Amino acid sequence: MGAPDGERLGPYRLLSTLGTGGFGEVHLALDPEGHTVAVKILHPQVAADATALARLAREVETMRRVEGPHVAEVLDASLEGARPYLVTRYVQGRPLSAVVAGDGPVEGDDLVRLARGLAEALVAVHAAGVVHRDLKPANVILTDGEPVVIDFGIACALDSVSVTVSGVILGTPGYLAPEVIEGTGSGAETDLFSFGATLAYAATGRHPFGTGPASAVGYRVVHQAPDLEGVPGWLEPVLQECLRREPAVRPVAGELLDRLGAAGPAVRAAIPRPRSSPVATRVHESVGGREPAEVQDVALHEAGGSAGAVQELTTREWRRGRRPVSGRLSAEEFRERRRVVLHRRWVIGTGLLVSLMAATAREPLPEVSLLLLTVYGLVTLIDAAIALFARRNRPRMIVDLGSAAGAIALWAALGAFFSTLTLALALGTVVSVLVAILIAS
């Protein structure tokens, strides 16, 4: 069924094969506007099932309403003809299964980001009335440390007897909920079980229900407890609740957001520090619907290493709009901080140069000296006025006014203590250095 590179499928031009899954072959492709997308061409046995395709066609419009940074949105679909296909947002990254297999378990703040991102993805999927039903490490793509869930809704939509008989296994043993294995139905609770199993694998590097034949793994899912040894202490209670056998007692995705801090406060795991004292918890809880405490310190313990040493993890909550205590900046925060630094360097550096030039021209060309100071002062005052109206930029206004006052003070000091010749030599040296820097850069 493999499609050659460069072939056109509808309005899409296939570029290369990304991989093959249980339901189809995925290709990197270009849409008519030249944007990269992922095109999944359904396997022949799936395409031959009219009932499954009809169900998928009904689900596509619902799936297209799922939006969020942690889901690969369905953009288009063509379910008629010899080769039906789905088009989703292309996510460049590595599957969680490959990351864990190659780099080992996910730890620390990366594990927190993974848990939060998966919870946010499930909230978006379930809010649209879609059930993923095949959440597993291979269906989670990590891009810049953030997870993106792919293939949501496809397993549920293609759940039909003829498709299963044709060879497609609906779901992965060890990540399917007990109710799916026993054939008693599936709902949003099913995804919560898969969420717990996927995070357990990410945190430990082991499949929580072991390996082996699908029947053996399925038996362990239904009748045995998951292997959570090595899961951090802050995460283990959450996974135990998600991996409960009874669907009704599992938490919903929105509750996970509250627990993991993605719906307002964000839980950030600090670097573990060896400690042997008892568990200490200091929690300021919200009461009567009020906002939670701005900062919440919780000392948590986890068993560390083969020696079983007790360690303490400190987590903090932060309110929306405040930077996480981990110190990581978003791209927008980084750009804003960079702009502030560049502005400060430019204003101060220009002020120093203008002061030196004005002081040099003070005796032979007093009009030029005053003109330089006047122009610099006007520019900084205008910039300060703009910052004053933009209330969040008051530090910028202080830099502008301070630089203008400093330039005048420096001009007066240089003119009073140094001769015109000395200032001219200094100015020539500064200009030569600046020109050399520009040429070198």
Tokens of 30: 């270009």
In 3D space, the residue among 172, 108, 187, 181 whose CA is nearest the CA of residue 140 turns out to be 172
Q: Which residues are annotated as a binding site for ATP?
A: 40
59: amino acid identity, one letter: E
The backbone torsions φ and ψ at residue 418, rounded to the nearest 5 degrees and listed phi first, read -125, 150
In 3D space, the residue among 204, 177, 201 whose CA is nearest the CA of residue 190 turns out to be 177
- Cβ of 289: how many Cβ atoms within 10 Å? 5
217: amino acid identity, one letter: V
Q: Encode burial over 149-185: b for 16+ CB neighbours within 10 A, e otherwise.
A: bbbbbbbbbbbbeebeeeebebbbbbbbbbbbbeeee
pLDDT for the residue 7? 85
Question: For residues 335 and 36, what is the distance between their CA atoms, to the nearest angstrom?
Answer: 26
Question: For residues 413 and 365, what is the distance between their CA atoms, to the nearest angstrom?
Answer: 17
In 3D space, the residue among 118, 300, 302, 292 whose CA is nearest the CA of residue 204 turns out to be 302
Question: For residues 264 and 258, what is the distance between their CA atoms, to the nearest angstrom?
Answer: 8
- Cβ of 354: how many Cβ atoms within 10 Å? 24
Q: What is the mean pLDDT of each run of 10 residues along the chain (441 residues)?
A: 70 89 84 90 81 77 85 88 87 93 93 93 89 89 92 60 43 84 85 95 94 91 93 93 93 87 43 36 35 33 33 34 42 68 85 88 85 88 79 73 87 86 87 84 61
DSSP string computed for 98-137: HHHHHH----HHHHHHHHHHHHHHHHHHHHTT-------G
C-alpha dihedral (210, 212, 216, 217), degrees to nearest 10: 40
Active-site residue list = 134
pLDDT for the residue 195? 95
Q: Hey, what domains does the chain have and what are their CATH numbers?
A: 8-278+296-316 (1.10.510.10), 331-440 (no CATH)
pLDDT for the residue 217? 92
Question: For residues 326 and 276, what is the distance between their CA atoms, to the nearest angstrom?
Answer: 24
Q: Is 196 helix (H, G, I), strand (E, B) or coil?
A: helix
Q: Which residues are annotated as a binding site?
A: 40
Question: For residues 401 and 384, what is the distance between their CA atoms, to the nearest angstrom?
Answer: 7
In 3D space, the residue among 311, 300, 205 whose CA is nearest the CA of residue 259 turns out to be 300
Tokens of 163: 């498709």
DSSP state of 391: G
Q: Are 189 and 247 in contact (CB under 8 A)?
A: yes
